[in-house]
Amino acid sequence: MTNPVESLSGQVAALAGGSATPSSLAEHALERAAELGDLNAFVALDPGTILAQAKAATARRKAGRALSAIDGIPIAVKDNYLTRDFPTTACSRALPGESDGVDATVVAKLRAAGAVIFGKTNMHEWAYGATNGTSSFGPTLNPHDKGRITGGSSGGSAAAVAAGIVGAALGSDTGGSVRIPSAACGIYGFKPGYGRASRHGVLALSWSLDAPGPLARELDDIERLLPYFLGPDSADPSTFGSVPMQPTGFRAEPLLLALTGKGLERSDEVEAALAAALRAGGMPVAEAELPAIDSYFAAWEAILHCEATAYHRERLATSAAGFSPVTLAHLKAGTQITADEYLRAQAIRTSFVEMLLKRMGKWDALVLPTLPVVAPLVGEDWQEFGGRKVTTQDSMTWFCWIGNLAGLPCVTIPVPNSGSGLPVGMMLMGRPGKDEDLLAIAKMLDSRINGKATS
């Protein structure tokens, strides 16, 4: 059972009940971060800045003027979110160059609610990878086993939450970068549907695939944070049709559609954990295969590489030496994609969305493992599962890219694993614009699988 003070919701209750203060929470988090410095979860951590925020929140609460329920709660921020009080580097020596002294929209909303912006977390350079092994600050290690990777690109955020340093952290997701490390580290992660959450001030990897999202120790924590993500933002035109978070009316027994077949293989250990979790969930589950999955994956890759290269065009011309060799190779590969190929990939994307939403029958949530394997060992280049041998990088995005290509809201929840004992995640993907319904379904399943009470 999670120590309630280590979860964001537990910290909210502790502050409300007077058993903790913002200052005591910040001091504890700083002590914990120092104790676990070998995880390399943080790349910027200034105690003076953090304690000053906490002191102000403590004074507000003492005066009865708390700004919100999360006033005084420490929240860590991935190093691709602009923050006015910490540098933003994207964990690269090819530095962003965006304006200092400003906050990303999500950070600004959390700050206005009184949250303590608790430093910047390590990440895969420019979010261009899924292992968290490529960073100008070095790799992040998995709190469950320091010989294993966290997954990425939001690996520092996942490690900080899983290790109990903070109750929640911010990440970004282009091909699973919130969900991958959440699953590998045994916590919860949520990717909003495309256009529901503002990307303003979050350094881009691929603007038509990116989404910011929270990582946390409980789904209740995710539910508390989503209002600061969801809704329109005049600085991000993709959100103009978005609405603030709405209370969901979803109460029926949801229909789950488990995706299987060629291209969606998984290890025996992961398959056993998922099957046991679905049995415990007790919800109607149908199965379906995705035809032509290789062409859809290729479309996602083409869009990602092309948009990433376009975004970094000026850096490639002026500071290419600042990129790591692997990131530079990805960016140069993007220059080989023609306009015709990019447009064809977008057309394939449209057909993919149509297939999922119209030709797959009725479903409330698509179900897959979040990862096909448990967290790989540090330095392990290949993974073998289901008769496949793939790179560790590709194994991390094996399922997650589907949610980004289709723009679906996605959530990963940890499920019991009787194999190696390492974390396994179950991923649910909802219908466009139905982020709140997806969260409600996830909470129903979580209560049955993990015995978590629903609120």
Please give the backbone phi and psi of residue 366, each rounded to the nearest 5 degrees, phi first: -85, 145
Non-local (6+) Cβ contacts of 114 within 8 A are 57, 60, 66, 67, 68, 70, 71, 72, 73
HEC sequence for the chain: CCCHHHCHHHHHHHHHHCCCCHHHHHHHHHHHHHHCHHHCCEEECCHHHHHHHHHHHHHHHHCCCCCCCCCCCEEEEECCECCCCCCCCCCCCCCCCCCCCCCCHHHHHHHHCCCEEEEEECCCHHHCCCCCCCCCCCCCEECCEEEEECCCCCHHHHHHHHCCCCCEEEEEECCCCCHHHHHHHCCEEEECCCCCECCCCECCCCCCCCEEEEEECCHHHHHHHHHHCECCECCEHHHCCCCCCCCCCCCCCCCEEEEECCCCCCCHHHHHHHHHHHHHHCCCEEEEECCCHHHHHHHHHHHHHHHHHHHCHHHHHHCHHHCCHHHHHHHHHHCCCCHHHHHHHHHHHHHHHHHHHHHCCCCCEEEEECCCCCCCECCCCEEEECCEEEEHHHHHCCCCHHHHHHCCCEEEEEECCCCCCCCEEEEEECCCCCHHHHHHHHHHHHHHHCCCCCC
Query: Which listed residue (9, 172, 177, 242) is catalytic?
Result: 177
Environment class of residue 130 by beta-carbon count within 10 Å: exposed (0-12), middle (13-18) or buried (19+)?
buried
**Cα separation values, 185 from 78, 157, 201, 399, 409, Å:** 16, 10, 26, 17, 21
7, 23, 78, 136: which is the annotated catalytic residue? 78
153 is catalytic: yes
**Active site includes 157?**
no
Q: Name the active-site residue from 9, 92, 135, 153.
A: 153
Tokens of 397: 């995005």
Q: Check if 177 is active-site.
A: yes
48 to 23, 26, 52, 139: CA distances (angstroms): 12, 11, 6, 26
Give every CB contact of residue 32 below 8 A, 6+ residues apart in sequence.
163, 164, 165
Catalytic residues, which ones?
78, 153, 177
